[in-house]
Structure 1
Amino acid sequence: MAEISRSALVMHSAQAMYDLVNDVASYPQFMDGCAGVEIFEHNDHSMLARLDLKKAGVQISFVTRNSLDAPHQIEMQLQDGPFKMFKGLWLFKPLADNACKVSLHLEFEFSRTGLGLAGSTLFAGVANNLVDSLCQRADKILLESNND
């Protein structure tokens, strides 16, 4: 089983960062390795979505049900995909009105040995860059909107 934990301190509110993370449909626009997204269900408390990851000839698609607790956390549970086990948690801890700590913790294990190493490498790479990508997107979108 692999575990990934990443966090960042950002000069944006917890609500703003929560909204960016929860905007899964926009991931292909800025997340390296995200080839597509399909949202099956979405309301204030949950989301069911498929993420398609593709890089260096390796492709992974998986579906998670995300439990939404705005603006505090997003908990991800595997519904379908090549994982034996997958769970994830985004946390948004307010530090001030316009500052927060964003944390991502993932635990996963692939079920198929053939996809194991290549899939783990792809998934770990995307996950490792996800927090940085979201912070860069927040700076771009939120700072630009504040300058208008």
Structure 2
Amino acid sequence: MRKVSRSALVTYSTAQMFALVDDVESYPEFLPWCTDTRVHHRDEGVVEATLELTRGSIRKEFRTRNTSRPGERMDIALVSGSFRHLDGSWTFNRLGDLGCKITLDLEFEFKSRVVDKLFGSYFEEICNSLVDAFISRADTVYGAKAGHAD
């Protein structure tokens, strides 16, 4: 099983960063590996969606149920897809008026060893780049602010 844990200190509020992570429909606009998203269900505190990832001619889809406390936490649980196991969380911790700390923790394992050999390292790279991608998205959406650091 592969594990990824990344965090960063940012000058944006927990509400701003949470809103970007929760906006699954916009992922294809700023995550180059995400070619499609489909939201199947959105209710207060719960989003169920499918993400399509592409690398060359290889496409993989997976569906997750994200349960959240807005501005604080989002828990990610696998519903279906190419994984044997996928779960994790985003946490958003306020740092006074200075901004917040965002943390992504993920664990995953593909169903097939062949898929893991072909796609596992790439998916791990994707996971490791997510925090930076959301910081860049925040700079674009909210206007760049000085002072974010890993």
Q: TM-score, normalised by structure 2?
A: 0.92
Give ranges in structure 1 of 5+ residues lacking alignment.
none
Q: What SS does the aligned partner of 1:32 have?
A: coil
Q: Tell me the residue number matched to 1:65.
A: 65
Q: Tell me the residue number matched to 1:55.
A: 55
Q: What SS does the aligned partner of 1:71 have?
A: coil
Task: State the Cα deviation string for residues 14-37 of structure 1 (Å, max 9, x = none).
Answer: 010000100011000001211110
How many residue pairs get aligned? The number is 144
Give ranges in structure 2 of 5+ residues lacking alignment.
145-150
Give the conservation status (yes or no) of the 8 Å contact 1:13–1:96. no
* Correspondence 1:1-148 to 2 at 5 A: 1-143=1-143
Q: TM-score, normalised by structure 1?
A: 0.93
Identify if the C-alpha distance between structure 1 residues 25 and 98 changes in structure 2 by more than 3 Å, giving closer, same or farther: farther
Q: Which amino acid aligns with 1:85?
A: H
Give the conservation status (yes or no) of the 8 Å contact 1:94–1:100. yes
Q: What is the distance in 2 between the residues matched to 1:39 and 1:12?
A: 26
Give the conservation status (yes or no) of the 8 Å contact 1:58–1:122. no
Give the conservation status (yes or no) of the 8 Å contact 1:18–1:71. yes
C-alpha RMSD over aligned residues: 1.1
Identify if the C-alpha distance between structure 1 residues 98 and 24 changes in structure 2 by more than 3 Å, giving closer, same or farther: farther
Q: What SS does the aligned partner of 1:122 have?
A: helix
Displacement after TM superposition at 1:98 (Å) = 4.9
